[in-house]
Structure 1
């Protein structure tokens, strides 16, 4: 059932993005009286799942969910319709239109992608508001949960002040900013220090068996579950909060994990909070330093408030207030993705090894239905689709825009033969990128990383 929910969200999001992107090309083409021969969701290699001709356009759904397309008459595109291009140009064809009209048609898809992302963020600000924890309230710093971050120089208990010179206001911003960080300013034991991240930090991060977030809030040791074969299944219960261990007070989970390893093969006295009462228990540690007790590494804002751990700030916005909030969120995501893309195209960072294909996109959707997660992911994917389509690769919108700008500046239009060769070259580049990205997915699935 979980797989079905993930797949439904994935296909719904992908379909929405493709249809709206192609509408971005379709609408200006029709405005400029350019014939659109086909409008397809997914690719119809050899056959279609559905098709219907309305007016001069065939609308359809293909069977290969790798994208979609509109076939505009008189345009050298992925269809490589050489027969049509060999005929005299007709007034309704793309090639007969002024360069500025062709430029608007080509930029329509990515324009819609960016507009969609900003509209979604505005809508989310209006309907959901903001829940956040002010970074200044983390008096005892953060919990460093990934070994790669420790190797880079950060420590549990550090108060992260700024990343690359930009001050951190909201704790929930930290993980995203650390991914592309070069320098991190921290307050460590009362003094300010600057930690320089290695250029190949992302590569080191991907080599870690432990995945997930880089830092978390420092929270108490809360029992999340007990293994069936654990010797402690009669001693502790889910939701117990460990207050003391071996006579010492326990403030945070990160301070007790290593303590277990120091008491291998021992039975250690402890105290837990259960139903708001202190209960003495015995915790049995096996010879490997394990107890069979699973602990919570993160909490949702509601639980954080219930346990009175950190002040949770709430912001609700009216419709007009939501507009600047959503625009700012969209801008931040756009800048963040651009930084990640630059890292991917910088071989020394090793970020290219983390490029994922369709499975990676599918896997970011949650296993339970969440409209909040769906819209948040869809907005991010829309930004990604817009940015990727602007890359100056001939088979992408950005490639067509590059040649159109050349034509408008120089006054010389590239020949149809040149455009054919450029389209073929771009197609092979895209195939190579798709194979590489999905090959990474397969490698990670096989290697377990």
Structure 2
């Protein structure tokens, strides 16, 4: 069932983003009097469609993209036979270069606008929940495996980031910080003050979800029992909502990370827990731990999170900044890939990886957050100067506008073929890479 929900969210998200992207091309083309023959969300074979005016609108069976076929344009259809005739006034090739440039930029522009709108509305409707520096340092951090490898220890208190004060925990794990090899943390460990730096190669490990779970530090989380799953080992052992688990097998469990660690070591065994009831009394309870290292309850973190709501004007500013930060992060990441500092196999994801990002439960907040992020990523990827992508067309049109000379149809045809081979190769690599990361 989780796999179906992941796939459904991926297909809905991609359909929205591809639909608005191709609509950007279509609307710009029609605005300049160009004939649009086809508008498709998804690639052939066609599942369903209808004709409206001069344009056929359809859905394709392969939901990994889409296309708009504009008369007189060399595109992925490679329909070059019609190019030998004299251009008609409604054809793409007969229009001025600046109009053709706007048509090719239309999809990118609409994706950027869509991403900004989603980020703005999410900021306005959801506000921001955060863990302050003061609340974080009441208990310190938990250092996961990757965090321990670079020098953190559970219980560390982080005083500064890159030599400056910070406001909230999310500042410490910001993607821009992780991408910067010069980032470092000032840490208090007991009475000692020391520095922990982000080392070269860190992003490769951070992207290795299988080995490191995409985590390196987190807040120490005091907790109490939330919902107890009916029929679970926790329920059978007598655990109740709002109980506080003080110790397991005589080992103190002040934090949820301690509790999970003890359960993992005792998977498949019986444990004895000292539990403080909501009334204040304490009891000793016995539980069977599953082979997965669980007993069957949801935890409630007792850290005090702050929350900020924003006016619409503030949301426009913050949402727009968040949207363009996605683009900046992608530019930085691609730079590291091209410099050989990051492995493409660990940092790039295809449709399977994106589906896993959505997760196996339907959460509209997460869905729209990821859809907004993917809209900005799609805009960035399409702007890359690769033939067959919008960015490739933009390069050729810019050359034409500057030089006054239009590239030959044969050159554009061959460039389109090269671009399609590159894109198919990249797509094949991404899908294979997803499968390898998931199953091996």
Determine if the TM-score, normalized by the shorter chain, exceeds 0.5.
yes
User: In the alignment, is residue 44 of structure 1 matched against residue 47 of structure 2?
Assistant: no
The alpha carbon displacement at 1:11 in A equals 1.8
- The alpha-carbon distance between structure 1 residues 73 and 123, as it changes in their structure 2 partners (threshold 3 A), is same
The alpha carbon displacement at 1:325 in A equals 2.5
- Which of 312, 328, 332 is equivalent to 2:325? 332
The alpha carbon displacement at 1:436 in A equals 0.5
SS in 1 for 2:386: coil
The alpha carbon displacement at 1:24 in A equals 1.0
Specify the alignment match of 1:141 in structure 2: 140
Specify the alignment match of 1:12 in structure 2: 12
2-structure distance, mates of 1:101, 1:262:
66
Residue by residue over 1:349-374, the C-alpha shift from the partner in whole angstroms, topping out at 9 and shown as x without a partner, is 22533322111112222333322111
User: In the alignment, is residue 379 of structure 1 matched against residue 389 of structure 2?
Assistant: no
2-structure distance, mates of 1:239, 1:339:
45
- The alpha-carbon distance between structure 1 residues 276 and 84, as it changes in their structure 2 partners (threshold 3 A), is farther
- The alpha-carbon distance between structure 1 residues 279 and 103, as it changes in their structure 2 partners (threshold 3 A), is same
2-structure distance, mates of 1:109, 1:322:
24
How do 1:232-311 and structure 2 match up within 5 A? 234=237, 240-244=243-247, 250-255=253-258, 271-281=274-284, 303-304=300-301, 307=302, 309-310=303-304
**Ranges in structure 2 where 5+ consecutive residues have no aligned partner:** none
SS in 1 for 2:211: coil
Alpha-carbon RMSD across the aligned residues, in angstroms, is 3.5
- The alpha-carbon distance between structure 1 residues 322 and 35, as it changes in their structure 2 partners (threshold 3 A), is same
Specify the alignment match of 2:430 in structure 1: 437
Whether the 8 Å CA contact 1:163–1:185 is kept in 2: the answer is yes
2-structure distance, mates of 1:376, 1:231:
34
User: In the alignment, is residue 213 of structure 1 matched against residue 204 of structure 2?
Assistant: no
The alpha carbon displacement at 1:431 in A equals 0.6
Specify the alignment match of 1:427 in structure 2: 420
2-structure distance, mates of 1:362, 1:292:
26
Residue by residue over 1:252-293, the C-alpha shift from the partner in whole angstroms, topping out at 9 and shown as x without a partner, is 2445667789999x999863222242424277999xxx9955
**Ranges in structure 1 where 5+ consecutive residues have no aligned partner:** none
- Which of 48, 53, 58 is equivalent to 2:56? 58
Whether the 8 Å CA contact 1:185–1:194 is kept in 2: the answer is yes
- The alpha-carbon distance between structure 1 residues 168 and 86, as it changes in their structure 2 partners (threshold 3 A), is farther
Whether the 8 Å CA contact 1:354–1:440 is kept in 2: the answer is no
SS in 2 for 1:277: coil
How do 1:152-231 and structure 2 match up within 5 A? 152-160=150-158, 168-177=166-175, 179-182=178-181, 183-189=183-189, 192-205=193-206, 206=208, 208-220=210-222, 222=224
2-structure distance, mates of 1:162, 1:335:
24
How do 1:100-119 and structure 2 match up within 5 A? 100-119=98-117
Residue by residue over 1:400-419, the C-alpha shift from the partner in whole angstroms, topping out at 9 and shown as x without a partner, is 11112222222222111111
Q: TM-score, normalised by structure 2?
A: 0.85
- The alpha-carbon distance between structure 1 residues 137 and 333, as it changes in their structure 2 partners (threshold 3 A), is farther
Whether the 8 Å CA contact 1:161–1:185 is kept in 2: the answer is yes
Specify the alignment match of 1:28 in structure 2: 28
Whether the 8 Å CA contact 2:383–2:390 is kept in 1: the answer is yes
SS in 2 for 1:392: coil
> How many correspondences in the alignment?
433
Whether the 8 Å CA contact 2:400–2:406 is kept in 1: the answer is yes
Specify the alignment match of 1:84 in structure 2: 82
Q: TM-score, normalised by structure 1?
A: 0.84
